[in-house]
Structure 1
Amino acid sequence: MHAWKGWYLAALVCGVVTALAIPLWAAAAPPDDTADRPHSQNMHLIGSSLRAGAVTGPPPVGPGDVPWDTRNTDLAFWGDTVIQGRYDGFRVIDARAPGNPVERAFFTCVSPQGDVGVYGNLVFRSVDSPQRTDQCTDVAQSGNPPDADCAPVAAPCTGFEGIQIFDISDLSNIELVASVPLDCGSHTHTVVPDSDRDRVLIYNSVSGAGLQVNPGKYGNRCPGLPFNREDIVEVPLSDPGSASVIGSFSLGQLPDGRVITTCHDLGVILGSVKRAACAGNPGVPVFDISDLENPVFLYATTAPTVTGFHSAAWSWDGSILVTGWEPGGGTLPRCQATGTPISPPTAGSSVQTDEMKTIFFHDGATGEVIGRHVLPRPQSQYENCTMHNYNVVAHPTRNLLVHGSYQSGTALVDFTDPANAYEVAWMDPDPLDPPSDTSPGGRINFRGGDWSSYWYNGRIYESDTRRGLYIWDVSAPEVRGPVVMLDHLNPQTNHVSIP
C-alpha cells in the first residue's frame, strides 16, 4: 500500500466525522484558466487537475470526433483522494494540496459511462452498454458479441454490462478484481456501507432497458421495459472478488397506477433516517431501508410535467428530498429563457418551460413538493444544459445544495427555506464555440460542461466533461461557521445523518 493511501483507511477506521469552522476564504494562487469561466465574486478557483475529454456522436461523425467517448463523468471521495470517472476508465487524484491536485493514476477501461464509487481501496465503476468482454481494454469493445461467440447460449446474445470492482491499493498496478454482470447494465450505482457485516452493498440503477436480448455468456440479459426493479450487489470486504447479486426490490408505482420503469439514480441516507429515493420514470419511489437487503416501499411522488427523474438527494436530517430531471437527455439546450421555442420538443411542449431547469424540494415524509429552484441564468441555444448531478452540504443548521448542470456550470443554492430557495454563488462558463454545422454530427463537438459538482469538506469539486477536475472555495456567510467534515463521500449516499 502506498503511504499516502494509508491515512485514508485510518480515517474510516476511526470513524472521523467532525465539525470544523470554515474560514471566510483562505486565499490561494488562482489558476490562470478562468477567462472563459465567469463566476460570482464569492467563487474562488483554487486548483485544477486537467485531463481532456471528448464526446462522440451519432452518424455522421463530426469533424475532430474521437473513435470512442472519453468524457469525464462522476466523482467520489476518500480522505484527500478524488476518484473521477470517465467513459474510458477513471482517474485517482491526490487533493491533499487543493491548490495543486495531482493525478496519481489513470486507469484505462473503455466502456461507458464510468460513474464511480469508492470504499477504502476499492473503486466501483458502472458499465451500461454491452461490451464484448468483461475485462478492461484500451480500445472500444462496445456492442454485442458476434453470433458465433454466443455459444453455448442462443444467438443473438448480449455482451457484458454491470459493475466493475478495482483494487487501487497499489496505484502502479491497479487490478480489476471482479466484474459483476447485471441485467440491462449499470447506468449509476449507490454505495451502501454495512460495516456491521464487513461488507458494502451496491444498489444498481438502470437508466433504460432496450429490446429483449438473450442472456450472454456472462449471464446478463436485458428483458426490455418495464424494468421495475433495483438489483442489490454484495461486496464482502474480505473477498471483494466474490461480489455477487444477492437480491432485488420492486420500484412500485405511482398512486394513479403508473408503473415506475427504471431508476436513473438512487439517493440514500443512513444513520437514524434509513431512507432511499429512486429518481425513476415517471416518479420517485421512497423506501425504508432499515433492512438493507429488503427495502420497504413507503410512497411515490412526482412533479408537474416531469416525465422521468434524473437525480435524488436527501438533506442530512432526512427532512427534505431533492429531485431533478434531465429533459433532452443532457445533450440538448434545455435551460434557455422560459418561453423560447425549442426543437425537438420535450415533454409534449415546443417551448422552454421553467420545469425543464428546475430542482424540486419535497417533504421527506410525504413527498409533497414544498419548494423549487429555477436556474436564474438562461443559457443559449448552443449550450447543452440540465440540472444534472448535485449533493447537499453536510451542515448542522442550514440546507445548502451544490449542483453541476453541464454548460450552465456550477452553483450553490440555499434551500433552508425551501419555498424561498436562492442562489448563493455560481460559475457559468462561456458557451463552447458555436457550431458552423448544426447537423447532429456537427453539434456534437460543442457538448460539454459540468457532469457533476459536489461539496466536500469545505470546497466545491467540479467535474468538467471536457477539461477535468476543478476545485473552488466559496466566501459566503451561508457556509461560514461549523461545517461537518467527512472521512469520505459517495455523493449518492449520506452515510450518516445530522443530527
Structure 2
Amino acid sequence: MRSTAAFGLAGLLLLAGCAADPAPPAPRAVSSSAGPATSSPAGAAAGSTTFPVSAGDVRVSANVKHVANVPPRAPLNGPQAWGTDLAFQGDHAFVGNFDGFTVFDISDPAKPSVVSQVLCPGEQNDVSVTGNLLFLSVDTARSGPGCDAGRGGVETSSWEGIRIFDISDKAHPRFLSAVRTDCGSHTHTLVPGDAERVYLYVSSPGPEPQTPGCPAPHNKISVVEVPLKAPATAKVVSQPVLAQVGEEAELLSGCHDITVYPEKNLAAAACFGDGILMDITDRANPKVLQHVKDEENFAIWHSATFNNDATKIVFGDELGGGVSATCDSTIAKTKGANAVYELGADRRLRRLGYFKIPREQTPEENCVAHNGSLLPIPGKDIMVQSWYQGGVSIWDFTDATAPREIGFFERGPVQGVGGSWSAYYYNGHIYSSDISKGLDVLRIDDPLTDPAKQVKTTELNAQTQVSY
C-alpha cells in the first residue's frame, strides 16, 4: 500500500479492499495454453441476464434510455470484485475488475453477452487493448506476476506492474508476460509508436520508502515499450522525471492518470498535486511543457480529457478518493468537480470554468468526478462521465465558462462503495462499468448528440484520444 497522503482513490479503495481480502481462489480448469490465467468461456457457465430499466431503481433524463445491464457473476462477483475500467475493440468490450477481467460481445448492445472471464486478482486491473494484446495495471504487491500469485509483502520478491495477455482467441485469453514498474501501475495509457511497437505510460502513486519497489522521490512515470511481434520482451525503457529536485518534486507524488493525443503530440497528466501538459513527439521520452495548480479547489488531480481540436482540456478532481460523499449541499460546486482549461496556440493552459453534476446526492452516496470520454461530435465539446453513485452524466462544455449537463442516468443509493467507475461512448451507445452492479448500456437520443451516431470506430482506449 502507498503511504502518500495524496493516494486518494487508489489508497482509500485499496485500503478498503485489503481489509478483508480473501486468499486468492484456486485456478479453474482451462486449456493448457492459457498459462497461469484462468479463463471461462461463456458456454461453460449459465448465461448472463439482461435486465430492463426499473423505475424503482433507476432515474434517467428524458433523452437517456437504460438499454441493458449484465450483473456480476462468478468468479468475478466476490465482496471486493469491483468493476473498474473499460476498453473496446470491434464488437467486444473488455471490463476490468479487482479480481480479473471480462470480455463481452456487444454486437447487439441491447443483449451484451459474456465471451470469457479471466480470474487474475490484482487491483485495479485497469485495462487497454491493441490488436491481439490486452494490458492490465496492478497496483498492489503480489507474490509474483502470474494470475495465480497471492498477495505480496514488503520483501524484494513482491511484484506489481503491467500484465500482458494474448486475446487473439477472446474465448480463451492467454497470459503472456509481465513488467515490473516502480510503485506498481495504478493506471496506464496506451501510446501508439510505429508499426513495430507501442508504449505504455504507467502512472502510480508513491513513494513508499520502506519498500524496495517504491523508493523516494517518486516524481516520475514509467514508460514501457512493447514490441508487437515479441510482446513477451516488453520492458521499461525510460522513467521521465516530471518535476526536478526541490519543492515541486517534493509535492509531486507520482501521477494518477495520463491521457495522450498522439496526432497532436500532446499528453495531459493528472498527477498528485498538479496537472501537467507534456510533449510526446518522442514517445519514449515525453517532455514537460507546463504544470498547473488549483490549490483552492483541487485535492486529487485524477484524469484528463482533450476536446477534439485540442484547444481545451478537462481535468477532474477526485476529492475524497472515490469513497466520500462530495455531491451533497455541504461541498462547493468547484470541489470534487471538473475544471475546463483553454489550451492556447502557445501550448499554455488557462482555466475557464468548472462543472459538477447539478443533481444533489445524499450524504451516504460516494460521489465525485471520475472516468469519462469525449463524444465524437463535430463543432461541439460534449463528454460522458462517471460519478460513482452520482451515476453517469452527459455534459456540454462547448461554452467552457458555462458548462451544463444535458442528460443523466443514476441508481438510488447502495450500501457501501458503489456506482459507475467508468462511462465511455462507443459506436452509438454509452457503456458504464458499475462497481457492484456490472455492465450497463445506455443510449442518448438528443439533437445535440445524434451526430455522434454517425462515427464508427474499431478500437477505443479512452485515454488514447483520436481525432474524428
Report the TM-score when normalising by structure 1: 0.79
Q: How does 1:17-56 map to 2 (within 5 A)?
A: 31-33=52-54, 35-51=56-72
Q: How many residues align?
A: 413
Partner residue, 1:407: 389
Question: For residues 255 and 210 of structure 1, do their structure 2 counterparts lie closer, same or farther at Cα, with a shift above 3 Å needed?
Answer: closer
Deviations 1:217-240 (A, max 9, x none): xxxx1104x311111101111111
State the 1:428 CA deviation: 2.1
**3-state secondary structure, aligned to 1:428:** strand
- Partners of 1:369 and 1:73 in 2: CA distance: 29
Counterpart residue identity of residue 215, structure 2: P
Task: Identify if the C-alpha distance between structure 1 residues 254 and 79 changes in structure 2 by more than 3 Å, giving closer, same or farther.
Answer: farther
**What per-residue deviation string (whole Å, max 9, x for no partner) do you get for residues 302-354 of structure 1?**
223313201111112111111011111101111111xx2xxxxxxxxxxx222
Secondary structure of the structure 1 residue equivalent to 2:138: strand
Match of 1:265 in 2: 257
How far did residue 410 of structure 1 move? 0.2
1:53, distance to aligned residue in structure 2 (A): 9.3
Partner of 2:209: 211
d(CA) in 1 for partners of 2:171, 2:459: 23
- Equivalent residue runs for 1:300-379 within 5 Å: 300-303=291-294, 304-337=296-329, 340=330, 352-364=331-343, 365-379=347-361
2:442 equivalent to 1:463: no
Paired with 1:111 and 1:266, the residues of 2 have a C-alpha distance of 20
Residue 229, structure 1, aligned to residue 220, structure 2: yes
Give the letter aligned to residue 254 of structure 2. Answer: T
Distance 2:436 2:279 in 1: 38
Cα deviation, 1:158-200, whole Å, max 9, x if unaligned, reads 5110000001112343211011011110000000112x33211
Partner of 1:22: none
User: Using a 3 Å threshold, how does the CA distance of structure 1 residues 470 and 253 change in structure 2: closer, same or farther?
Assistant: farther
2-structure distance, mates of 1:110, 1:54 = 11
2-side partners of 1:358 and 1:377: how far apart?
13
Matched residue, 2:40: none
Give the superposition deviation at 1:144: 1.1
Mapping 1:438-477, distance limit 5 Å: 446-477=416-447
Which residue is equivalent to 1:160? 159
Matched residue type, 1:36: D
Match of 1:427, SS? strand
Aligned CA RMSD, in angstroms, stands at 2.3
The one-letter code of the counterpart of 1:484 is V
Residues 269 and 316 of structure 1 are in contact (CA less than 8 Å); yes or no, is this contact kept in structure 2? Answer: no
Q: CA deviation at 1:32?
A: 4.1
Query: In the alignment, is residue 134 of structure 1 matched against residue 145 of structure 2?
Result: yes
Which of 69, 79, 97 is residue 86 of structure 1 equivalent to?
Answer: 97
In the TM superposition, residue 264 of structure 1 has moved relative to its aligned partner by 0.1
Counterpart residue number, 1:490 = 461
Name 1:252's counterpart in structure 2.
243
Letter aligned with residue 52 of structure 2: P
SS of the residue aligned with 1:250?
coil
Query: CA–CA distance in 2 between the matches of 1:256 and 1:478?
Result: 45
Shift in Å, 1:157: 2.7
Alignment of 1:108-147 (within 5 A): 108-137=119-148, 141-144=150-153
Distance, in Å, in 1 between the alignment partners of 2:326 and 2:123 is 23
Superimposed CA distance per residue, residues 287-309 of structure 1 (whole angstroms, 9 cap, x where no aligned partner):
11111112121111122331320
Q: CA deviation at 1:44?
A: 0.6
1:459 to partner: Cα distance: 1.3
For the residues of structure 1 that align with 2:67 and 2:324, how far apart are their CA atoms?
A: 30
> 1:23 — aligned with what?
none
Contact 1:390-1:402 within 8 A present in 2 as well: yes
Matched, 1:178 2:177: yes
Greater CA drift, 100-109 or 249-258 = 249-258
**How far has the Cα of 1:33 moved from its partner?**
4.1
Q: Give the gaps of 5 or more residues in structure 2.
A: 1-49
Shift of 1:253: 6.7
Q: Hey, what's the Cα distance between the residues in 2 that align with 1:158 and 1:206?
A: 19
In the TM superposition, residue 34 of structure 1 has moved relative to its aligned partner by 5.1
Q: Specify the alignment match of 2:403 in structure 1.
A: 421
- Equivalent residue, structure 2, for 1:188: 187
The separation in 1 between residues aligned to 2:63 and 2:358, in whole angstroms, is 17
- Give the Cα separation in 2 of the matches to 1:87 and 1:462: 16
C-alpha contact (below 8 Å) 1:82/1:95 kept by paired residues: yes
Deviations, residues 268-292 of structure 1 (Å, cap 9, x unaligned): 1121x11001101211111111111
Distance 1:30 1:415 in 2: 32
1:397 aligns with one of 376, 379, 382: 379
- On the 8 A contact 2:59/2:411 being kept in 1, the answer is yes
Task: Give yes or no for contact 1:202–1:234 (8 Å, CA) kept in 2.
Answer: yes
Quote how far apart the aligned CAs of 1:470 are. Answer: 1.0
Report the equivalent of 1:384: 366
The letter for the 2-side match of 1:230 is: I
Q: Which moved more, 1:169-178 or 1:324-333?
A: 169-178
Is the CA contact (8 Å cut-off) linking 2:152 and 2:159 kept in structure 1? no
Higher relative contact order (CA 8 A, sep 6+): 1
SS at match of 1:376: coil
CA contact (8 A) 2:52 2:66 kept: yes
* Deviation at residue 212 of structure 1 after TM alignment: 2.8
